[in-house]
Amino acid sequence: MAAFRLASPSNLQRIITLAIAVVFIVDNLPERLGIASTVSILPGAFYIAAIFYLSALLSYETEGDVFGPKLLRALKWSGGLLLIGAWAQILLVPSLAYLTENGFSEMRGLRFDTSFSNYVIAVLGGSMFFIARRAEQIKARLEEFV
């Protein structure tokens, strides 16, 4: 079992991520808790979880496990979490905010947050996820030859 090193890049990144998460949650706490205000924190929580998985990529790379199963799993999870967080920001948060603002009386269609950054994060997350899946398939085919 490897000893815990505080100064390793992955541990420093995880500590910084935890500090950012605390600042994010404290900064975005609403004065009055409601469904829409609580759901607005959800995309950030997915992004923070993705950063935790990305910090695992650093530790696997320093251990010499390049394109091993741990690295591919971390890449797939971080991409999936980025994708889910982006779609929550694009679709879930605006729709629930609209629904709660009118007192759950009327919901005609969906509301979208069409900012460019949300779509970029969704595309990057989806790309990471599908690249990791394809790498797993290629690795399985290569292992069949050996």
Residue 7: the pLDDT is 60
The pTM of this model reads 0.76
- For 5-38, write each residue's pLDDT tens digit: 556 666 777 777 778 777 776 776 666 666 666 7
* Burial per residue of 43-81, b for 16 or more beta-carbon CB atoms within 10 angstroms, e otherwise: bbebbbbbbbbbbbbbbbeeeeeeeeeebbebbbbbbbb
Residues whose CB is less than 8 angstroms from the CB of residue 68 and which lie 6 or more positions away in sequence, other chains included: 60
CA distances to 21, 27, 34 from 52, in Å: 11, 20, 28
Mean pLDDT computed over 118-143:
90
- For 41-80, write each residue's pLDDT tens digit: 888 888 888 888 887 776 666 666 666 788 888 889 999 9
Mean pLDDT computed over 104-133:
85
Report residue 57 as tokens: 């990529």
